[in-house]
Chain A
Amino acid sequence: MSDSVGIVTPQKWVFEAPITLSSGAVLPRYELMVETYGELNADKSNAILICHALSGHHHVAGYHTAEDKAPGWWDSMIGPGKPIDTNRFFVIGVNNLGGCHGSTGPSSINPATGEPYGSAFPVVLVRDWVETQARLADRLGIQQFAAVIGGSLGGMQALRWSITYPERIRHALVIASAPKLTTQNIAFNDVARQAIITDPEFHGGDFYQHGVVPRRGLRLARMLGHITYLSDDGMGEKFGRLLRTGEYQYGFDVEFEIESYLRYQGDKFANVFDANTYLLMTKALDYFDPARHYGGSLAEAMRQAKAKFLVVSFTTDWRFAPARSREIVKALLDADRTVSYAEIESQHGHDAFLMQDAPYMNVMRAYLNNVAKEIA
């Protein structure tokens, strides 16, 4: 456990100043759940912000109790001596606004009604998250992040940071991400949303008052999502056509191992995740398109940035394919920004950004080692 950050305690940060969101909606106050690892140095130059993806949260590394079975979701990357080395960096994990792990979200109490927000919770965009993260940085006294790092939807936040606050980040690490979703990707998200919205127990988003959870919808959404996070090859290698009993049962119960796996993942997720948060996160993905404000030119958008970039993609990721990362790289090169790009061979599909393929870990370690030297 010497490479673990050990037992960590989440903190709740309360922001009493109202925030006007991109949609025009105003939240009078909000709370963010935060975890930090390592020590902030005297000139506050060694902070790294970790931005989470669709189902992530502030618990990025370490354990909450000695009994925890699993560590934080990116424990493989973060810890003493790991690529994001907590001996050198002060690492911040935050649960985004609209989340369901303690930050203000649809299941929080709406001060205006005394009831959970539910359907009244406004749509949040990636730029809104960046705004709340910037306010968090202000409170921590961090003027400039050494790096903002994220995979998938988290990578979109890192990109947005570099455009909105060019002076406030030295490096952006954009992993398994995209400059905007493809049509197909939006389509997947809508099927997931429809699964949730058409669940009779969704109640238009106000299911909390009914004492129910749209578990079936959430489960289906997760099962669908999970298929798209894995590669065909990876899935085939892991499950093949394996049958649980070894024989055809000629029915509709769980027979193939893949069915068992997906149902297990779906059930597990439906027990802990909030349906409204799932809708919000997928909408934030769909709306993300920084080029939109620059005449459709991503290069023009990236021209705002001052950070240096590391872009990473994975060969079998078809949900956020390497071609999408190459668009980011091309835009950065066209905008004359500093960028390195690695296209990692991996069997793990989109999930690869959470895995430990050696070249991936090596390139992250090499890059962040230089970031650490730069700020030392």
Chain B
Amino acid sequence: MAHQTTLRADLKHIAEQIKPNSRVLDLGCADGELLAWLQANKQVRGIGVDVDVNSIVTCVEKNLNVIQADMESGLQHFEDGSFDFVVLSLTIQSMHNVELILQEMLRVGRCGIVTFPNFGYWENRWQILKGQMPVSETIPYEWYNTPNIHFCTVKDFSQLLAKLGMQVDGQVVLHQGEPVNFLPNLLGSLALVQFSQTKVV
């Protein structure tokens, strides 16, 4: 298999978190870019899930294992603890059952990785201050045609994890593919959060 060397910026940061030879479930895997890269470069055993049949065809073309399923009702296909990493990339903001999917991710996997557009990004805040719903590079839709129904900020997301008995193990906030370390919830447009069940000490 040809090694894909370039990876979309946000996927690159996800890939960095994933240990070689681990078992990876990629939820909303789309064209399988992340999985293909991980299989070629980190020798992971990966499975993708997507609801769109065209994604299934593309992934099968790339010789990836992929399951067509709607994740809104959970991850019934998968047994408890079958994965080391469960990835949900730029999808959670368009899902109905946010709490269920987070719980399901940590049922079937040890470690979850979620990326989402940070609604707290200053440009979004600025557009709201000006009286309009934000449209930006990570939120490229108008309010009336957006598939996104559950926007949150970096701060909101970690609060939800805490409520669900989960802990943040790592967090990177990006803007245009580069990490933002200063005031990330204000200056970063895309967040990556790695999480697991809160350890009882």
Contact = CB atoms under 8 A, between A and B. Distances in A.
Interface of A: 310, 326, 329-330, 333-334, 338-345, 359, 362-363, 366-367, 369-370
Interface in B24-72: 47, 53-54, 56-57, 59-61, 63-69
Contacts of B77: 326, 329-330, 333
Interface string B171-197: 000000000000000000000000000
B60 A367 contact: yes
B143 interface: no
B16 interface: no
Nearest to A309: B65
A333 B83 CA distance: 11
A173 to B, nearest CB: 11
- Give the most central of A329, A334, A338, A342: most B CB within 10 Å: A342
Contacts of B69: 341, 343
Given A366-B61, A370-B63, A340 B56 contact: yes
Interface residues of B, number: 20
B79 A334 contact: yes
A366 B82 CA distance: 27
B76 interface: yes
Interface in B64-107: 64-69, 76-79, 82
A333 B77 CA distance: 7
9 contacts: A310-B60, A329-B77, A330-B76, A340-B66, A342-B60, A343-B53, A344-B53, A367-B60, A370-B63
Interface of B (DSSP majority class): mixed
B53 A342 contact: yes
Contact of A363 (B56, B63, B65, B79): B56
Nearest to A326: B77
A340 B65 contact: yes
A41 to B, nearest CB: 21
Contacts of A343: 53, 68-69
A8 B6 CA distance: 49
Closest 10 CB pairs of A and B: A366-B61, A366-B60, A359-B53, A362-B57, A341-B67, A343-B68, A342-B56, A370-B63, A342-B68, A363-B57
Contacts of A370: 60-61, 63
Contacts of B54: 359
Contact of A340 (B59, B76, B79): B59
A345 to B, nearest CB: 7
Contacts, number: 56
Contacts of A362: 57
Contacts of B76: 326, 330
Given A342-B68, A343-B53, A333 B60 contact: no
A340 B57 CA distance: 10
Nearest to B57: A362
Contacts of B79: 333-334
A344 to B, nearest CB: 6
Contacts of A342: 53, 56-57, 60, 68
A326 B67 CA distance: 10
Contacts of B53: 342-345, 359, 363
Nearest to B52: A359
Contacts of A330: 76-77
A340 B60 contact: yes
A341 B82 contact: no
Nearest to B51: A343
B57 to A, nearest CB: 5
A340 B61 contact: no
A334 B47 CA distance: 13
A223 to B, nearest CB: 32
Contact of B57 (A338, A339, A359): A359
Given A342-B53, A343-B69, 14 more contacts: A326-B77, A329-B77, A333-B77, A333-B78, A334-B79, A340-B64, A341-B68, A342-B57, A343-B53, A359-B53, A362-B57, A363-B53, A363-B60, A366-B57
B56 A338 contact: no
